[in-house]
Amino acid sequence: MRKLILPVSILAVILALVVLAPVLPLADERAMDIPHRFAGPSMAHWLGQDEFGRDVLTRLIYGARASLSIAIGSALAAALIGTALGLLGGYFRGIVELFTVRAAEIILCLPPLLLALLVVTIFGAGFWPLILALTLLYTPNYARVVYAATLQVRALDFVTAQRALGTHPLKIVLRTMLPNVLPPLVVQISLVIASAIVIESGLSFLGLGVVPPTPSWGLMIRAARGAMEQAPLLLLWPSVALAGTILTFNLLCDRLQSVLDPRAVPAGGAIWLRRRRTTPIAPRIAPDQVERDHAPADLLSVAGLTISLDRPGGIGSGMELVRGVNLGLRTGETLALVGESGSGKTLTSLAVTGLLPDVLKITAGTAAYRRRDGELRDLIAEDEDGHRQLRGDEISMVFQDASAALNPVHRIGEQLTEVILAHRAIGRAAAKREAVALLGRVGIPDAERRARAYPHELSGGQRQRAMIAIAVANRPKLLLADEPTTALDPTIQAQILALIADLKRESPEMGVVFVTHNLAVVAEIADRVCVMYAGQVVEEGPVAKVFARPRHPYTVALIGSVPEGDAERLVAIPGAIPAPGHMPPGCSFAPRCDHAVAACRKAPPPEFWPEPDRRTRCLRFEEVT
C-alpha cells in the first residue's frame, strides 16, 4: 500500500486545485489584458501571460478542470455501462453475452481517434460530444475486463452454491460478483482516465474538442505553437502539466496492479547472460586429493555438494536443498539417482552442468571431472564460459519434458545441427548430413523429412528421441538424463530405455547418470544406484546388491511401495519429506521410519560402509531388512 502514496498524493493535489479553483485567489481565467500579452512571469502572474494577456497559471488550473472532468466523467460513465455489460455477459453467457460483450466489442474495430472524430462530425465539437465519444470508446475495454473477471468468479464454489440455493441472479451479480471484479476494474479506470486525457487534449489541440474561450491544455498548446517565437515558455507549461498528469495516472495504474496482483513479482533477468561468474568459486581441490578420496570414480566425483536457496531478503533464503552429497561415476558406468520429488536428485545433476536456476547457489562442494584430454577440472568452480565449452560436447543432458525443452519455432534438424556446429569445426552441409543420420540412429523414421519438421509435428516419443540425438551428437563422455521417460507412456518408455542402452553399447566409454523415481527403470538400466532423500544420499551401491539387501529403511520402503508389474509412480510412503529448513535434528527419515530409535533422533547419522562398494546413512543398517 505504501507504493500508492506517491501517485495518490500527487493526484490529490491536482484534484484539490481543480475543485477549489473558483475559491482560490486566482485571476479571472477569461480576463484579457492585451497591452501585456506575452508578458513573462511576474509577482501578479507567476507563469506569465498568454497571447491575450490572460493569466497562464489560472488557465492551466482551469484547463485541468476541463480535461479532468471530461476524462473522469467519461471514464466513470464507460465503467458503469461496461461493467453492467461485462457482468451480464459473463454471468448469463450465451445469447446475453452476444448482445452485451460481443456487441460492445464491435467498437474495437474502429481506430479510437477515428471514432471520436466521427462523433464530433455528427454532433460538433464541445464538452458533451467529447464525453459521449470517450464513453463509447472505452465501454468495450471495461466490458472485456469485467467479463473475464466475471468468468473466473462465476466458477468459484460459493457462487455455484448460491445459484444452487436459488438466490435471485441479480442479487448474486450485485452482491457477490461485483465486489469480486472490483480490483481489475479499478486498475482499468485509472488506465482509461490517462488515455482519455490524451484523446481529449488531442482533439482540443486540433480545435475539435473543448470550445474556446473555455481553457484546455490542448487548446493552450495549440495557441502557444503560433506564438513560439515570442513566448516559447507558453508551450512548456501546458505540456508539462499534461504529460505530468498522464504520467501520474499511468504510475497509479502500475502501482495498483502490483498491489492488487502481488504474484507479478519482477523477475531478476538471467545472471548467466552477464559476463560475470555464475557461481561463487569454491576453493579448488588439489587433484591428488581427489585421486586419493575417490580413486575408483575416475570420470566424475562429487564431494560435499551443498545447494542453498539464494534470495537475499526473500522467504527461506539460505535453506539447504541439497546437503553434502557425495557420489562417484566410473567411465562407462550407469548410475541411477532415485528418490521422491524434492529429494534433490535433479538439482544435483543440474549443479554438475552449471544449469541451476539463478535463485539457487552452490554453497559448498566440489565436482572433479576428468576431461577427454585427461585434465582434471572442478565443475563447481567453473564459470559459465568454462561450462559452455563442456556442455553439449563432453557433458550433455536429456531433459524430462522434450516438448518444452525443444524450441517450438525452430526445425528439429536445425536444433540438432547447431549443437554439432557449436563444438566441431565442420561445414554446415556436413553437420546437416550428420544430423539426419543421427535422427535415423535414434530411431526416427524418414529422418530426412523429419529433420524439417517442427517439434509440435512430432509425437512425444519422437521428440524425446530427437532430444537424445541432440545429447549424443558430439559423443559425450558424460550423459545426464533427468527423468527422460517420465512424461511418456509405458510402451514408449521401454523403447527410449532400449535406445539409451543401445547407445551405451555403441559408446562403452560414456558414463550415464540417470535420474528417475522409477525403481523398475533402475533395475533395467543402471549398474549402481544412489538413493536420495531430503537432499542427501542415504544409500549407494550396486543395483543387484541394493535391491537384494537394502541397507536403509527408506530404500526398503521404496522397494516395498513398487506394486507388481510396471509401476509408473511410487505408491506413497506414510508421511512426507520434511520441508527444507524444517529438518529434524537427527536422521531426516526418522519421523517416517519404523526402525527409528532415540539415537536416530539425536544427531544426523554419518555414512557407514557395510561393504567396500556400499554405503548407507543409517545407524541401524545391520538390522534393516
Partner 1 sequence: MLRYITYRSLVAVFLVWIVVTLVFLLLHLVPGDPAEVLLSQGSTAADPQAVANLRDRLGLNDPLWLQYAHHIGGILTGDLGTSFRDGAPVAGQIVQRLPRTLEVIVTAALIAVLLGVPAGTLAAIRAGGWIDNVISFLSSLALSTPVFVVGSVVILIFAQELRLVPAGGYVPFAVDPARHILLLLMPAGTVALALWAVVARMSRGSVLDVLERDYVRTARAKGLKRRRILKRHVVRNAMIPVLTVLGLEMGTLIGGTVLVEFVFNWPGLSGYLVSAVDARDYPEVVGIVMVISILFVLLNLVVDIVYAVLDPRISLTR
C-alpha grid cell, residue 57:
497559471
Determine whether 414 is exposed, middle or buried from the number of CB atoms within 10 Å of its CB (0-12, 13-18, 19+): middle
- Give how far Cα 590 sits from Cα of 476, 552, 605, 617, 619, Å: 40, 11, 10, 11, 11
Smallest gap from Cβ 457 to partner 1, in A, equals 8
What residues have CB less than 8 Å from 126, skipping those under 6 apart?
210, 211
Q: Which is nearer to partner 1, 111 or 574 (CB)?
A: 111
Q: Quickly count helices (H) and strands (E) in the chain.
A: 24, 12
Q: What is the side-by-side order of every strand in the sheet holding 320-329?
A: 320-329, 300-309, 360-370, 376-378
Q: Which is nearer to partner 1, 107 or 520 (CB)?
A: 107
Smallest gap from Cβ 124 to partner 1, in A, equals 7
Q: Which is nearer to partner 1, 80 or 247 (CB)?
A: 247
Smallest gap from Cβ 471 to partner 1, in A, equals 8
Q: Which is nearer to partner 1, 244 or 490 (CB)?
A: 244
Q: Which is nearer to partner 1, 207 or 563 (CB)?
A: 207
Q: Which is nearer to partner 1, 100 or 150 (CB)?
A: 100
- Give how far Cα 71 sits from Cα of 53, 146, 149, Å: 28, 20, 24
Smallest gap from Cβ 278 to partner 1, in A, equals 10
Smallest gap from Cβ 357 to partner 1, in A, equals 9
User: What is the rounded distance in angstroms from the CA atom of residue 474 to the CA atom of residue 211?
Assistant: 74
Ramachandran category for residue 575: left, alpha or beta (phi over 0 → left; psi -120 to 50 → alpha): left
Q: Which is nearer to partner 1, 313 or 508 (CB)?
A: 313
Cβ 277 vs Cβ 40: under 8 Å: no
Q: Which is nearer to partner 1, 325 or 419 (CB)?
A: 419
Smallest gap from Cβ 403 to partner 1, in A, equals 9
Q: Which is nearer to partner 1, 247 or 281 (CB)?
A: 247
User: What is the rounded distance in angstroms from the CA atom of residue 260 to the CA atom of residue 498?
Assistant: 52
User: What is the rounded distance in angstroms from the CA atom of residue 37 to the CA atom of residue 51?
Assistant: 5
Q: For 146-182, give the DSSP string.
A: HHHHHHHHHTSHHHHHHHHTT--HHHIIIIIIHHHHH
Q: Which is nearer to partner 1, 399 or 589 (CB)?
A: 399
Q: Which is nearer to partner 1, 177 or 219 (CB)?
A: 219
Query: Which of the 8 DSSP states describes residue 502?
Result: H
Determine whether 321 is exposed, middle or buried from the number of CB atoms within 10 Å of its CB (0-12, 13-18, 19+): buried
Smallest gap from Cβ 58 to partner 1, in A, equals 21
Q: Which is nearer to partner 1, 171 or 456 (CB)?
A: 456
User: What is the rounded distance in angstroms from the CA atom of residue 33 to the CA atom of residue 53?
Assistant: 4
Ramachandran category for residue 368: left, alpha or beta (phi over 0 → left; psi -120 to 50 → alpha): beta
Bridge partners (DSSP) of residue 55 are 49
Smallest gap from Cβ 391 to partner 1, in A, equals 4
Smallest gap from Cβ 389 to partner 1, in A, equals 7
Contacts of 440-447 with C-beta under 8 Å, sequence gap 24+, read 441/469, 442/466, 442/468, 442/469, 442/472, 442/499, 442/503, 443/495, 443/499, 444/469
Q: Which is nearer to partner 1, 23 or 109 (CB)?
A: 109
Helix axes 178-206, 56-92, angle to 10 degrees: 140
C-alpha grid cell, residue 171:
442479487
Smallest gap from Cβ 510 to partner 1, in A, equals 16
Smallest gap from Cβ 503 to partner 1, in A, equals 17
Q: Helix (H, G, I), strand (E, B), or coil: what is residue 522? A: helix
Smallest gap from Cβ 198 to partner 1, in A, equals 5
Q: Which is nearer to partner 1, 277 or 410 (CB)?
A: 410
- Residue 282 dihedral angles phi and psi, to the nearest 5°: -75, 155
C-alpha grid cell, residue 141:
475495454
- Give how far Cα 359 sits from Cα of 48, 319, 325, 356, Å: 56, 11, 19, 8
C-alpha grid cell, residue 46:
507567476
Cβ 138 vs Cβ 78: under 8 Å: yes
Smallest gap from Cβ 228 to partner 1, in A, equals 5
Q: b/e string for 183-210 if b means 16 or more Cβ within 10 A?
A: ebbbbbbbbbbbbbbbbbbebbbeebbb
Smallest gap from Cβ 68 to partner 1, in A, equals 15
